[in-house]
Amino acid sequence: MNTWRFLTLLTETNLRAALSLRTATLLQAGFMCLNNLIYFAVWVIFFRRFHDLAGFGLRDMQLTFGITAGGFGIAVALCGGLRELSKMVVDGALDGYLTQPKPVLAQALCSRTIASGWGDLVSGLLMAGTSGKVSLLHAPWLLLAILLSASVFVAAGVAFHSAAFWLGPVDSLARSLWEFLITFSIYPETIFGGGVRVLLYTLIPAAFSGFLPARLAHRPTFETAAAAIGGASCVVASALVLFARGLRRYESGNQIGVR
Amino acid sequence: MRFAEGLGTLLVRMAALSVVGFGLSLCLSGALPGGGLLSLICGALTAVVAAALSLLFYAIIGLSAFFIEDTAPVFWVWQKLGFVFGGLMFPLDVYPSSLQTLASFTPFPSLLYAPGRIAIGAEPAFLWHATLVLAAWAVFATAFAQLAFQRARKALELNGG
């Protein structure tokens, strides 16, 4: 069985497991939609009063917020194991995956789904679709933008959690860095100064999970597409290298388990 | 008992965070709030009462676990409503009047906005109004928590063994 087929089946199994608790899953997804809409209401209030923020209006914010929520939703719905990655490293819980003939990282990431992610995805698509910034003709670009955002969220998360191979228990630090990434992704690039902007293109790659994908969905050009795809690829490649190098330092937890 | 345990943790955290928060605000603004020391003390006292009341609301959210299994989604929505109606991101004064009215029917302005406003020097009428509203919400939350707990005990299914 090839790796993609394996991961598809794993995701299907996770979904079936989540849907076995149908009410809890639907509640989580529904409340997450509501949660995003309430949070966005703050920005509606802000832009009603101040009209724009360094050239960034409510519609731009809605598109960026939608793409970020959608990307984050896909990331946690398909790669729900990401949040526990550093804990798995520290506890030696990767043993079970190392014995399988499939990539360790892919197995660890896809080992579970987080139901609220589906709520993020639905609200993200809804918000981006109704922002008025993306025409029907550009819908494929919107989907590409959301997928790029998702890949950056997963990759950055892997990179943050991989620090556990060197530093030990970094669970809270990794989570905080990931939350920074989410927060910075929805703000307009124009409000950040030089130093912070460099940070957002490198260590906390919010440029590739938020504003560049939003720019791509709104006005797709060759340059924007190259920057968004190239940037996301660099983040993904860096995360893969970091995890692979870290895995060499991994120490078994001597756990006995069956998968 | 769990409430008392939570309250103890809350007070310790609050003390540590207020030192950092107050120090940072002082460094950034370079001056004490205009209302003087008395306003600061009143603000701090209101903040402690408001934090204890928040804890009671969290307990109510926790009790919803008896009916809906996972309470995290309810907590997220509560938290975001706090952002919006508590004036946590923008002061309530910049909101349209309809939203200000809507906010006044929720506990969030008394839990989040009022202590800050009192600390920076609100007029005495605001202080009294905020205290009374906080007391009213405390009575409501206590009664609601007790009712929810009684209902929860009836709904409890024990897995013996």
Residue B158 pLDDT class (50, 70, 90 cuts):
low
| 3-state helix/strand/coil string of chain A | CCHHHHHHHHHHHHHHHHHHCHHHHHHHHHHHHHHHHHHHHHHHHHHHHHCCECCECHHHHHHHHHHHHHHHHHHHHHCHHHHHHHHHHHHCCCHHHHCCCCCHHHHHHCCCCCCHHHHHHHHHHHHHHCCCCCCHHHHHHHHHHHHHHHHHHHHHHHHHHHCHHHHCCCHHHHHHHHHHHHHHHCCCHHHCCHHHHHHHHCCCCHHHHHHHHHHHHHCCCHHHHHHHHHHHHHHHHHHHHHHHHHHCCCCCCCCCCCC
Classified as helix, coil or strand, B33 is coil
pLDDT exceeds cutoff 60 at B161 = no
- Residue A2's pLDDT is what? 83
Question: How far apart are the CA of A231 and the nearest CA of chain B, in angstroms?
Answer: 31
Residue A242 pLDDT class (50, 70, 90 cuts):
very high
Residue contact B81–A32, C-beta within 8 A: no
Percentage, residues of chain B above pLDDT 70? 96
Chain B residues inside the 8 Å CB shell of A116: 72-73, 76
Nearest CA in chain A to B87: A42
Question: How far apart are the CA of B94 and the nearest CA of chain A, in angstroms?
Answer: 7
How many domains does chain B contain in total? 1
- Residue B22's pLDDT is what? 85
pLDDT digits (tens, 9 = 90+) for A201-212: 999 999 999 989
pLDDT digits (tens, 9 = 90+) for B104-139: 999 999 999 999 889 888 788 999 999 999 999 999
Nearest to B73 among A27, A41, A49 (CB): A27
Comparing CA positions, the residue from A3, A19, A123, A132 lying closest to residue A72 is A123
pLDDT exceeds cutoff 60 at A245 = yes
Output the CA–CA distances (angstroms, integers) from residue B61 to A38, A76, A144, B134, B143, in the order listed: 18, 24, 38, 19, 14
- Residue A19's pLDDT is what? 85
- Residue B67's pLDDT is what? 78
Chain A residues inside the 8 Å CB shell of B76: 31-32, 35, 116
Residue contact A28–B73, C-beta within 8 A: yes
pLDDT exceeds cutoff 70 at A253 = no
Residue B80: give the domain boundaries.
2-158
Comparing CA positions, the residue from B15, B23, B72, B73 lying closest to residue B44 is B15
Residue contact A46–B74, C-beta within 8 A: no
Residue B66 pLDDT class (50, 70, 90 cuts):
confident
- Between CA A113 and CA B14 the distance in angstroms is 35
Q: What residues contact residue B26 under an 8 Å CB cut-off, 6+ apart?
A: B32
User: What does the block give as tokens for A242?
Assistant: 């970091």
What is the number of alpha carbons within 13 Å of residue A62 lying toward its C-beta? 18
Tell me what the pLDDT averaged over chain B comes to.
Answer: 87
- Between CA B111 and CA B50 the distance in angstroms is 5
Residue contact B76–A31, C-beta within 8 A: yes
Any CB–CB contact under 8 A between A9 and chain B?
no
Nearest to A116 among B73, B80, B90 (CB): B73
- Chain B, residues 58-97, CB within 8 A of chain A, namely 68-70, 72-74, 76-77, 79-81, 83-84, 89-90, 94-96
Output the CA–CA distances (angstroms, integers) from residue A96 to A14, A165, A175, B75, B105, in the order listed: 17, 17, 24, 34, 53
| Euclidean distance between the first and the last CA atom of chain A, given in angstroms as a whole number | 16
- Between CA B30 and CA A83 the distance in angstroms is 40
Q: What residues contact residue A98 under an 8 Å CB cut-off, 6+ apart?
A: A104
Chain A residues inside the 8 Å CB shell of B83: 38-39, 42
pLDDT exceeds cutoff 70 at B37 = yes
Question: How far apart are the CA of B146 and the nearest CA of chain A, in angstroms?
Answer: 25
- Residue A255's pLDDT is what? 67
- Between CA A136 and CA A80 the distance in angstroms is 31
Residue contact A31–B74, C-beta within 8 A: yes
Query: A88 near A108, Cβ under 8 Å?
Result: yes
pLDDT exceeds cutoff 90 at A154 = yes
Any CB–CB contact under 8 A between A25 and chain B?
no
Q: What is the mean pLDDT of residues A96-106?
A: 89
- Between CA A176 and CA A173 the distance in angstroms is 5
Tell me what the pLDDT averaged over chain A comes to.
Answer: 91
pLDDT exceeds cutoff 80 at A259 = no
Percentage, residues of chain A above pLDDT 70? 97
ipTM > 0.85? no
Residue B58 pLDDT class (50, 70, 90 cuts):
very high
Q: Which of B29 and A60 is assigned the larger pLDDT?
A: A60
- Residue B36's pLDDT is what? 80
Q: Which of A194 and B42 is assigned the larger pLDDT?
A: B42
pLDDT digits (tens, 9 = 90+) for A7-63: 899 889 988 988 888 888 888 899 999 999 988 988 888 888 888 887 888 999 999
Which string of b and e fits A205-239 if b means at least 16 CB within 10 Å? bbbbbbbbbbbbbbebeeebbebbbebbebbbebb
pLDDT digits (tens, 9 = 90+) for A176-187: 999 999 999 988
- Residue A125's pLDDT is what? 95
User: What is the C-alpha R_g of chain B?
Assistant: 18
Output the CA–CA distances (angstroms, integers) from residue B158 to B13, B64, B70, B154, B155, in the order listed: 35, 17, 18, 11, 10
- Residue B29's pLDDT is what? 81
pLDDT exceeds cutoff 70 at A174 = yes
Residue B61 pLDDT class (50, 70, 90 cuts):
very high
- Between CA B138 and CA A49 the distance in angstroms is 33
Q: What is the mean pLDDT of residues A67-80?
A: 95
- Output the pTM of the full model: 0.83
pLDDT exceeds cutoff 70 at B160 = no
pLDDT digits (tens, 9 = 90+) for A88-99: 999 988 988 888
Q: What residues contact residue A4 under an 8 Å CB cut-off, 6+ apart?
A: none
